[in-house]
Amino acid sequence: MAWAAHGACSDVDPDSLFVSGAAQHRAKRVCGSCPVRLECLAEALDNRIEYGVWGGLTARERRTLLRQLPEVVRWRPLLDARLSSATPARSDRSRYAGAQE
């Protein structure tokens, strides 16, 4: 986990990331601009980490993903693919819009 040294949370009290309730929103904000957010999230999903905020997702949000896609063994490739397809080019957007009509 060499990537962890570059995380936005590297200088944050670790206990602040393992919280419940409304405090989770504060913990998730730490992840917002993190340069290693995907590595962190993939680590938590790959290893089925059950507690804390990792990669901007709570334990509950990660459990939901794991239930929805139980066949995924390595999450990083899927996260990369979803991220790259999240911002389609303008021509792609219009094609998607047409398909929905």
User: pLDDT (tens digit, 9 = 90+) per residue, 16-46?
Assistant: 999 999 999 999 999 999 999 999 999 999 9
CA 101 to chain CA centroid, nearest Å: 31
Amino acid occupying residue 41: L
Q: To the nearest whole number, what is the mean pLDDT of the chain? A: 87
Model confidence at 85, pLDDT cuts 50, 70, 90, reads: confident
Return the structure tokens found at 90.
């303008």
Q: 7 lies in a domain? A: no
* Range(s) of the domain holding residue 30: 12-85
pTM score of the predicted model: 0.80
Q: 38 lies in a domain? A: yes
Residue with tokens 């059950």: 50
Structural domain count of the chain: 1
Q: 1 lies in a domain? A: no
Q: 45 lies in a domain? A: yes
Q: 70 lies in a domain? A: yes
Q: 49 lies in a domain? A: yes
